[in-house]
Amino acid sequence: MSVRPAAATTATATTADLRATGLHADSPCAGASSADDTVSPEAACATGPLPVLGRDVLVPLVTGGEVEYAALDYGASAPALQRVWDDVAAYAPYYGSVHRGAGYLSQLSTDLFENSRATVAGFLGCREDDQVVFTRSTTDSLNLLAAALPRNTRVFVFETEHHASLLPWQQREGITVTCLDAPRTPAQAVGTLERALADREPYGPALVCVTGASNVTGELWPVRELAAAAHAHGARIVLDAAQLAPHHPVDIDALDVDWVAFSGHKLYAPFGSGVLAGRADWLRSAEPYLAGGGASRTVSRRADGGVDVEWHTTAARHEAGSPNVIGVHAIASACKALSEAGFGTLVEREQRLVARLRAGLAEVPQVKVLSLFGDDAPRVGVLSFVVEGWNSSHFAAALSAEYGIGVRDGLFCAHPLVRTLLGGAADEPGECGAPDAAPGERSLNAIRVSFGAGTPDEHIDRFVRAVKELVHDGARWSYRTEDGRCVPDRNAGAA
């Protein structure tokens, strides 16, 4: 099985060695604590948020004083789980070169790296012959897959995708891309894809790229049904799970997708690593994503002065250079923490917060929540909206400056989707984070609130109160545009 750790060599660090160094935390929620010593960390995690870094950080308010920061921008980067941070800190003194070092720390690091690969494979429900390739991010993973596509592959992608899954295919010579219109129901998504695949000419290799959960609306997509449609028409499918994996179990085998891509920094492991996992054949036959050490099995000099190279056929083929061992270890730690905490419990708690948020916003008539599939569509903890009479960048700036709440505004690297949801023309201007109109005028941007396993109930409640106060009373401070961002005007002072 290609995703299993490599066989041990001389002076190999064993699992017992890893436990002895503290690299294997046995507690499902390492770092959890309770004022009542009779309550176990596991029980505390089951009833409340998982411990994350930054939970008690205080930030200044423009109106004076400080407040505990409410991080509601998980969709961009989630805070590190305390468990992840502790595992990384425990490993740091034992850091060493990977795969070819003879020293004990190199052996230990290699064992940790390859065991992390196996952990991720288990987290994703990988099949026997699947490969797990470590990358830098979801964007990097999908660009790697794009580079591995057979020539003359046709790629089908909905306009609703994040730019990370919308754009990589455009850059590849010999690849034809078909961009599908935004569907308004899950059934319409499946039907649109089926028709596009059936009508393709010529009939050859094809790839479908689809998100698992929208980074704009949070809505869940019918991944299993889309995979069935793809396979029925001789196509393969890759799942962008960047927004799905932190909120919901992802099982490659059960979903019957060919590949899954996700980022560590959205999975509570912000250390610059990502994953592409799935079928090995196209990856084995493609030229290495990067040429260099680690990807090559043997290199020899030819008589004519050239060089002959034999490349690896394992995941190492696309992992040239010194790998991000800490980032990989962090991803594996996050996978363990989420699995051990119980995804069912995490999903149930998050859905309670989603319902709480939606109920609060529904009490504000000026707020319009953005949706493709309708109000009743299931979604993860990601929600975007606009406020009547407000520029979204102005509103987001006031949330931060006056309430200590961090959200995101703009087009969320999903420009075609946000334009569709806001009723804008395909070529209407709009830029992430840049207010294109003064407060009160039309502007093609929105506000996104996103949260997850580390979000306290209080942060959702504070957010809803802040929205209501801003809509009812207006901002308490004056704001101006600076370098494309809406910021408090320190010279003007209070509004």
The catalytic site residues sit at: 413
Starting at the edge strand found earlier in the chain, the sheet holding 154-158 runs 131-135, 274-278, 259-263, 236-240, 206-211, 154-158, 176-180
CB proximity list for 137: less than 8 A, separation 6 or greater: 164, 263, 264, 265, 272, 273, 274
**First-residue to last-residue Cα distance in the chain:** 64
CA-to-CA separations, 245 to 88, 252, 287, 334, 336, in angstroms, rounded: 21, 11, 29, 11, 13
The rounded distance, in Å, linking the Cα atoms of 109 and 88 is: 12
| Partners of residue 310 on adjacent β-strands | 298
The total of other beta-carbon atoms located within 10 Å of residue 89's CB is 10
**Cα-based angle 472, 478, 481 (whole degrees, multiple of 5):** 115
The rounded distance, in Å, linking the Cα atoms of 172 and 149 is: 9
| Amino acid code (one letter) for 272 | G
Query: Phi/psi zone of residue 268: left (φ > 0), alpha (ψ -120 to 50 degrees), beta?
Result: left
Q: What is the 3-state secondary structure (H, E, C) of 315-366?
A: HHHHCCCCCCHHHHHHHHHHHHHHHHHCHHHHHHHHHHHHHHHHHHHHCCCC
Hey, what are 334's tokens? 């996050």
For the chain, the C-alpha Rg in angstroms (whole number) is 24
The candidate with the shortest Cα–Cα distance to 428, out of 411, 408, 405, 449, is 411
The rounded distance, in Å, linking the Cα atoms of 190 and 186 is: 7
